[in-house]
Chain A
Amino acid sequence: MRKIRTYQDVSHSTESELLEQVIEQQERLADRLSPIKCLVAIASGKGGVGKSAITANLAVGLASRGFKVGATDADLNGPSLGRMLNVSGATLGDSADGVAPAKSPTGVSVMSMELLQSEADAPLQWREPSLGGFIWQSSLETGVLREFLGDVAWGDLDVLLIDVPPGTDKIKRLLEILPSLDLMLLVTTPSETTRFVVAKSIRLAQEARIENIGLVENMESHVCPSCGHVSKLFGTEANEEELPYGTVSLWGSIPFDPRLGASTDEGRPLISTDPTAAVSIALQALVERVSEHINGGAQ
């Protein structure tokens, strides 16, 4: 059998420049993110646990303390930040060095797929070919996410919050394209099913050597709106030592309060509209902890 040289054998480049372009994409992203002081991902692995609501309230809380805050909605298929930060319908400045983000009334710079879609209730769809989507969709969405991070003229933010979609694979994709990540907040709830998934995300973040990982336990209790009585939302009175979270530290404990959902979903994060509510005070504690982190204080 004749011997044909392998790809690795031939050093000569074909000038198709594919690898060069991929490297250039990574450099563009790194250049864009380098003036940003602190990159924070809000993830979970699970959906519906409050990642977006916490991102929105955290963003507003940090902005009201004078930080320059950006928030990018990495959840391309289930975008929520546009609505929650009240920028739906905003236009985006188009210039050669980047797309200007939308600015929320609370001063947060926002990018979300919702802003790009003509119909709010239409599922995200890509142009042809319809066949074989399972092959290219993931690379396309990763590319679009790279643009949501790297092609937006964020400027020199103090902090950029990334609202990560559900699915541990999505966390992995994000970590692959990010040059670095300062902090990953993992949102969990007292439900066994959520804990099971979040434990996987913790392991993923640890294996990726993310330096700072913090847990935010959401819906950990219920505050009765009429009498103020605090009760556990989920039946299981879990023993802290039995939680599958290892040594990961708890950065926040947010009670369940229907007003938080209602107000945030309407584009008025409760942390700004009702700062004295128990849930807002709990959110402020998280804001405080993240503020210290941005300022390079206690970790």
Chain B
Amino acid sequence: MKFLCISCDTVMDFVERQIPGDGTLAAVFECGSCNKEVAMLTNPMETQLVSSMGVKIGGREVPAQPMELSRTSMEGGKEEVFEVPESGLPEHQGHPLSVTWTPEAVGRLDNVPSFVRGMVKRIYTDWAQQNGISEMNPVIMDRARTELGLEGM
């Protein structure tokens, strides 16, 4: 899918993606020559068609998580089937920056269905590390959520 600015005969560049939470999606493209922007708005069916491919318009901010498509698309996923190893998140131990979670942030995470909880925690932690943030609190969570387009999770 490409957007062509006809007056400039220039292919527009992807700028941002927004997920309002009603199943629809907005993707903004900009013409590099005249700076005109267009938004592509997709209905829930079109949005689902793209997300069912396990891809995100504009690319991913964090690498795809194991079984992400299954976990975010299934209805009636079994609680507690995914177990984060006792040692916490060993995959982050190699990273110089460790992220601590405030009790409020942990509380928020507890509201996430356990089917996706481990995955969501990993995504937030990765994002914090990439942004040099060592403490995860609700405000940071909101920021990450918007930046990462996690509304669907």
Q: A residues touching B (Cβ–Cβ < 8 Å)?
A: 4-5, 7, 10, 12-18, 20-22, 24-25, 28, 91-99, 115-119, 122, 124-129, 131-132, 135-137, 139-140, 143-144, 146-148, 151-152
**With an 8 A cutoff between CB atoms, is B67 at the interface?**
yes
Q: B residues touching A (Cβ–Cβ < 8 Å)?
A: 1-4, 6, 9-14, 23, 27, 29, 44-45, 48-50, 52-60, 64-70, 72-85, 89-91, 115, 118-119, 122
A12: chain B residues at CB < 8 Å are 2, 10-11
Q: How many Å lie between the Cα of A96 and that of B23 in the bound state?
A: 27
Asked if residues A96 and B76 are in contact (CB atoms below 8 Å), the reply is no
Q: How many Å lie between the Cα of A4 and that of B72 in the bound state?
A: 39
B119: chain A residues at CB < 8 Å are 94
Q: Contacts A7-B2, A96-B91, A118-B77 known; A139 to B66 CB distance under 8 Å?
A: no
B56: chain A residues at CB < 8 Å are 21
B70: chain A residues at CB < 8 Å are 116, 144, 147-148
B13: chain A residues at CB < 8 Å are 14-15
Asked if residues A92 and B75 are in contact (CB atoms below 8 Å), the reply is no
Q: How many Å lie between the Cα of A151 and that of B67 in the bound state?
A: 6
Q: How far does the Cβ of A188 sit from chain B's closest Cβ, in whole Å? A: 31
B84: chain A residues at CB < 8 Å are 94-95
Main secondary structure of the interface of A (DSSP, over half): mixed
Asked if residues A94 and B2 are in contact (CB atoms below 8 Å), the reply is no
Q: How far does the Cβ of A25 sit from chain B's closest Cβ, in whole Å? A: 6
Closest partner residue, chain A, to B82 (CB atom): A94
Closest partner residue, chain A, to B15 (CB atom): A15
Asked if residues A132 and B52 are in contact (CB atoms below 8 Å), the reply is no
A91: chain B residues at CB < 8 Å are 80-83
Asked if residues A118 and B49 are in contact (CB atoms below 8 Å), the reply is no
Q: Which of B27, B72, B75, B115 contacts A125 (CB 8 A)?
A: B75
Q: How many Å lie between the Cα of A148 and that of B77 in the bound state?
A: 15
Q: Contacts A99-B82, A147-B67 known; A16 to B75 CB distance under 8 Å?
A: no
Q: How far does the Cβ of B87 sit from chain A's closest Cβ, in whole Å? A: 10
Q: How many Å lie between the Cα of A14 and that of B75 in the bound state?
A: 33
A98: chain B residues at CB < 8 Å are 66
Asked if residues B81 and A115 are in contact (CB atoms below 8 Å), the reply is yes
Q: How many Å lie between the Cα of A116 and that of B73 in the bound state?
A: 12
Q: How many Å lie between the Cα of A11 and that of B48 in the bound state?
A: 27
B57: chain A residues at CB < 8 Å are 16-18
A96: chain B residues at CB < 8 Å are 65-66, 89, 91, 122
Asked if residues A144 and B69 are in contact (CB atoms below 8 Å), the reply is yes
Most buried by A among B4, B56, B66, B122: B66
